[in-house]
Copies of this chain bind each other. A is one copy, B any other.
């Protein structure tokens, strides 16, 4: 078990799966502290000696390269604030219960990541014109859980299409919120792929493989994938990619007791992969009526936007609160989970039930 995560909610151990207590968002603010950032591991963290560690870049490149952490730090330094969310976050809200880690609201966090643009490193090696994808491979390895899996141990690995890999905000990060990237978060070096679910932000990077054909590894065909009929074709196995629009209520927490007649500040966050948040609405009657929340602070690409909503519950009783975000492109959170997404991409309006009692 990790020693960097006091105050996290334990979901699983061996390997660690630790949840951010999302009701702390108001206290923590828009940047999640390192010690409270959620942890989603697939295998136990690898033992890495930062002195001898190297990143290798191989495949369809002009010249393979090996870089030490010092080498990587000689490239232009880029800092980007980005939300990471597990594609199974909010799974605990699904009924019937689905397979997988039962995240409530805290399988996510937002940090300031510093490193080098992946595009810079790709240019350094000289990517062949025929290249179509890159595989990000971690040093963590083990035997996956599902029955349909490769024989023996595999390394965690995930690919990106070349156009996504070359976006300037895609980083190889060695700092998190101004500190050296902690071991528990993929140190010495991890990928940060803003706008994508976090399964693409591979931790403990050891190798980048440039491929001339699409990659079909375990973590994008068996796990982190679902069946979908696209463009009139028969159903296909589709990998999970970008974050859709979503909001969550941090306060009140589930089953919180609130005084009747009080002024309660409903507080939460909203985000979308490739768009700003245009508005957030809040309902205190299970979705019958909605009021507009106030967006707080500034909007940053790939970060969440915090919001607040004043609520004065008059009558005692049980209330179901919902928040509903709409992005600048007009996409709004759905009212129900899309069953085709199976146990992933859970971004519908999530009900928070509270009790209003006599003060």
Contacts and interface: CB of A to CB of B under 8 A. Distances in A.
Nearest to A219: B234
B209 A150 contact: no
Contact of A235 (B58, B154, B233, B237): B154
Given A151-B227, A340-B151, A211 B233 contact: yes
A215 interface: yes
Nearest to A211: B233
A352 interface: no
B227 A149 contact: yes
Contacts of A151: 227, 339-340
A232 B217 contact: no
Interface string A42-67: 00000000000000001100000000
Contacts of A154: 234-235
Contacts of A218: 227, 234-235, 237
A74 interface: no
A234 B339 contact: no
Given A214-B214, A221-B221, A234 B137 contact: yes
A222 interface: yes
Interface string A303-322: 00000000000000000000
A119 interface: no
A135 B216 contact: no
A157 B234 contact: yes
Interface string A217-239: 11001100001010111111110
Contacts of A135: 233-234
B150 A235 contact: yes
A233 to B, nearest CB: 6
25 contacts: A58-B232, A146-B148, A148-B148, A148-B222, A150-B229, A151-B227, A151-B340, A154-B234, A154-B235, A157-B234, A209-B233, A211-B233, A215-B233, A216-B216, A216-B221, A216-B236, A216-B237, A216-B238, A217-B235, A217-B236, A217-B237, A218-B234, A218-B235, A218-B237, A221-B221
Closest 6 pairs (CB-CB, A-B): A150-B235, A150-B227, A216-B236, A157-B234, A216-B237, A221-B237
